[in-house]
Structure 1
Amino acid sequence: MQLGQTGLWSIELRMADPHEIADAAAELDELGWGALWIPGLGGGDILGDSERLLRATRNAMVAVGVASIWRHQPADMAAGHARLQSTYGRRHLLGLGVSDPAAARSAGQPYRPLADMAAYLDRLEQAPAPVPAGERVMAALGPKMTELAGRRTAGVHPFMVTPEYTAAAREQLGDGPVIAPYQAVVLEEDPGKARTAARDFLGVFLGMDHYARSLLRQGFTEDDLAHGGSDRLIDSVVAWGDVGAIGMRISAHHQAGADHVCLHVVGADSAMPLPEWRKLASLAS
């Protein structure tokens, strides 16, 4: 699995006009981005949306970051993933997440995150076309889920984390498992504008229990989580400034042990942030 050192994580590459998505993906591939990540959101045809990107590109990996195990049947995911790998040169990475108790309830199931994820992985492996461990990652945040990811998948794709978190994950996992953190970025040098854009996107996640607990484990306080996030929290989990400042945050993750960092541009002026992606292309690899 060759993700490269940097990639792009984008809602737009899943939700925008299909023709616009295809054109943007082809350009991003030419610019040298190692991977294009799309979110699972509320379910839907995540494999079809992955295929649109695979069809438009030649070199970039296409990664799901991440699909909820409550919204996709493992047999369907295994079969679809196998077809994409066969058709497009093994460039698809399946990211999985256990979501939260509300997602389990919506599926009519109790919420036992470790057991639920382990059972889902079992079913992927027992499918007629099994998903190899090296072709899947997990949205692990806590130490127990991180341990499971290290044993049974290629590695972890954590959301809203700091380079210090990356260092702790690398210490726990040791050499081998992939660490590919999500990193929100704002290309804005004015602190007030940059932090406002960051809060506009991340504020809703601070009220979600599993993300709040992750941030508290990372050393933030309840006060840091209040009112859309303190400046300290925002500056720690969002990289803002010019391209050089974004590059410094990427380097910090890599120095801490990350293999790949996927950048999510927030606060862009356009619906499809191609101008920002082009500016960041010097960081692509």
Structure 2
Amino acid sequence: MSESTNGASTVKEAVGRYGVWSVGLRSEDPALRGEIAEAAAELEQLGYGTAWLGGSSAPRHALPLLEATSRLTVGTSIQSIWQYEAGESAAASAEVESAHPGRFLLGLGVSHAKLAEQYRRPYSALVAYLDALDEAGVPAGHRVLAALGPKTLELSRDRAAGSIPYLVTPEHTARAREILGEEPLLAPEFAVVLETDPDRARTLAREHLAMYLALPNYTNNFQRLGFTEDDLSAGGSDRLIDALYAWGPEDRIRTRVNAFLEAGADHVALQVVDNTPRDHLPRTPWRRLSALLH
């Protein structure tokens, strides 16, 4: 594949086909630094191409993982533009890139009105943030955007290496690919519940989904995908849950994950949903997923 203006071809090679998404991997607890490094080394051995640092992470959170590995790509998913100034972000990204060339991706997003007091005109703010990164010398090919709607997907195409949509379906992936075109990276996150019992799996999924059902950026996107107000009520309909989460026997989970690739994704970032705290490192489930996907 020929090199694109934003370096997307190089990024696609770096991220690999599968990655993991985890809030725990960005922990700043000194007691967990050793475990994070150990987990990163194992993820690389298991064949994952990328570790995505969940929550509003920053470039510094990538260092323990990069230092413990030789090939693993690490990305923020996402860094909120409201939490870190563009100049600060540019300097931190340049430092990480200098120490570990080609292995860090700055994932950016506008977060949510309920989570950022200064939330105003998010699209315009994101454009201004990208302008500032350009002025500071951060290459477009070193950043990706958490895009759900058409305008931000277009921005991902024109001003970044691609998009890292969160809490989406293969149908969204197909629409996103149409907007992005062939070259840009498309790397959706997808949640997996390693349970075969429907009631147990859906209960865990609903517990995980609850906070997102209060955020209009997500619920608006669900409705663009054809879900109704009824689907969004009472913790989410079975139809919504089954579209957003993979559960069941291993062959079914494999099929669900790979449906994103068939719809046009280059990479799938897998988030394990279970009954442990969000900052837990689900290393046994990561091993199981690697075994069924690789």
TM range, smaller chain: over 0.9
Partners of 1:51 and 1:139 in 2: how far apart?
21
How far apart in 2 are the matches of 1:167 and 1:272? Answer: 31
Instruction: Report the Cα offset of residue 117 of structure 1.
Output: 0.6
- Contact 1:7 1:284 (8 Å CA) reproduced: no
Are positions 1:188 and 2:200 aligned together? no
How far the C-alpha of 1:154 sits from its partner, in A, is 0.7
The separation in 2 between residues aligned to 1:66 and 1:284, in whole angstroms, is 25
Q: Distance in 2 between matches of 1:242 and 1:90?
A: 37
- What amino acid sits opposite 1:145 in the alignment? T
Aligned to 2:85: 73
Is the CA contact (8 Å cut-off) linking 1:5 and 1:284 kept in structure 2?
A: no
Select 1:173's aligned residue among 174, 180, 187. 180
1:246 CA drift (Å): 2.0
Instruction: Write the deviation string for residues 248-267 of structure 1: whole angstroms up to 9, x where unpaired.
Output: 11211111100010000011
> Are residues 1:23 and 2:38 paired?
yes
SS state at 2:74 partner? strand
Please give the root-mean-square deviation of Cα atoms over the aligned residues, in Å: 1.6
Which digits, 9 at most, give the CA deviation of each residue in 1:50-100, with x for residues without a partner?
Answer: 111111111110010111000001111111111111111320000000122
Residue of structure 2 equivalent to 1:277: 286
Distance 1:283 1:181, change over 3 A: farther
Q: 1:253 aligns with which of 260, 264, 281?
A: 260
Contact 2:114/2:215 (<8 A) preserved: no
% identical aligned pairs: 47
Partners of 1:33 and 1:284 within 8 A in 2: no
Residue 236 of structure 2: aligned partner: 229
For residues 201-239 of structure 1, the C-alpha deviation after alignment (integer angstroms, 9 at most, x for no partner) is: 111101111111011101100110111111000000111
- AA aligned to 1:29 is E
- The answer for the alignment partner of 2:120 in structure 1 is 111
1:267 matched to 2:267: no
**Paired residues of 2:50 and 2:75 also in contact (CA < 8 A):** yes
Following superposition of structure 1 onto structure 2, how do residues 1-285 of structure 1 map, counting pairs within 5 Å? Answer: 1=11, 2-15=14-27, 17-41=32-56, 46-104=58-116, 106-107=117-118, 111-127=120-136, 130-268=137-275, 271-282=280-291
Distance 1:3 1:172 in 2: 21
Tell me the distance in 2 between the aligned counterparts of 1:57 and 1:155.
24
Distance 1:284 1:64, change over 3 A: farther
**Relative to structure 1, is the Cα distance of residues 163 and 251 closer, same or farther in structure 2, using a 3 angstrom cutoff?**
same
Would you say the 8 A contact 1:31–1:284 is kept in 2?
A: no
Gaps of at least 5 residues in structure 1 are none
C-alpha change, 1:58 and 1:149, in structure 2 (3 Å) is: same
Q: Is the 8 A contact 1:70 1:103 kept in 2?
A: no
- Indicate the SS of the match to 1:172: helix
How many angstroms apart in 2 are the aligned matches of 1:58 and 1:246? Answer: 29
CA distance in 2, matches of 1:255, 1:207: 30
- Aligned 8 A contact 1:202 1:228 in 2: yes
Query: Amino acid of the residue matched to residue 146 of structure 2?
Result: A
SS of the counterpart of 1:228? coil
DSSP-derived class of the 1:151 partner: helix
Partner AA of 2:79 in structure 1: A
Inter-partner Cα distance in structure 1 for 2:261 and 2:202: 24
**TM value normalised by structure 1:** 0.93
Measure how far apart 1:275 and its partner are.
0.8
Alignment deviations for residues 82-128 of structure 1 (CA, whole Å, 9 cap, x no partner): 11111113200000001223455x23xx611221111000000101x
- Partners of 1:119 and 1:269 lie apart in 2 by 38
Residue identity matched to 1:112: R
Residue 8 of structure 1 aligns with an amino acid whose one-letter code is V
Unpaired segments ≥5 residues, structure 2:
1-10
- Give the 3-state SS of the residue equivalent to 2:210 in structure 1: helix
In the superposition, the TM-score normalised over structure 2's length comes to 0.90
Aligned residues: 277
Per the TM alignment, residue 243 of structure 1 is displaced from its structure 2 partner at its CA by: 2.9
* Contact 1:34/1:284 (8 A) holds in 2: no
